[in-house]
Amino acid sequence: SQTIHQWPATLVQPVGSPLSLECTVEGTSNPNLYWYRQAAGRGLQLLFYSVGIGQISSEVPQNLSASRPQDRQFILSSKKLLLSDSGFYLCAWSAFGTDINYGYTFGSGTRLTVV
């Protein structure tokens, strides 16, 4: 079965510090991978998506970057965090195929607080 792992679950970082959030998927190959951010009480904002190794598309100009060094690994990074980077970050994956019930599967999320 397919699983998605995202860590850490919570993170408190000072302004100006770097960030690295990691997401890995198991049980599938060549998935589409996504990073979302959700502010408190708000909807999901798509930040980045990737259709393959080294292929990253950015949806929102910002202080963040993403990388996909391996097929099932997706990393969200920042060189210098801003207060506005605080939020709930979610990784998700979807896969091509004839089984439409794959849908989109989300990780458990990382609560980032920049102080």
Q: How far apart are CB 6 and other proteins at their closest, in Å?
A: 8
Q: How far apart are CB 16 and other proteins at their closest, in Å?
A: 26
For residue 79, with 0-12 CB atoms within 10 Å meaning exposed, 13-18 middle and 19 or more buried, which class applies?
A: exposed
Q: How far apart are CB 107 and other proteins at their closest, in Å?
A: 6
**Strand ranges across the sheet with 65-70:** 3-7, 19-26, 73-78, 65-70
- Distance separating alpha carbons of residues 53 and 79, to the nearest angstrom: 21
> By the criterion CB under 8 A, which residues form the site for other proteins?
32, 34, 36, 42-44, 46, 49, 51, 57, 59, 88, 90, 92, 94, 96-98, 100-101, 103-109, 111
**Nearest CB to other proteins, comparing residues 7 and 106:** 106
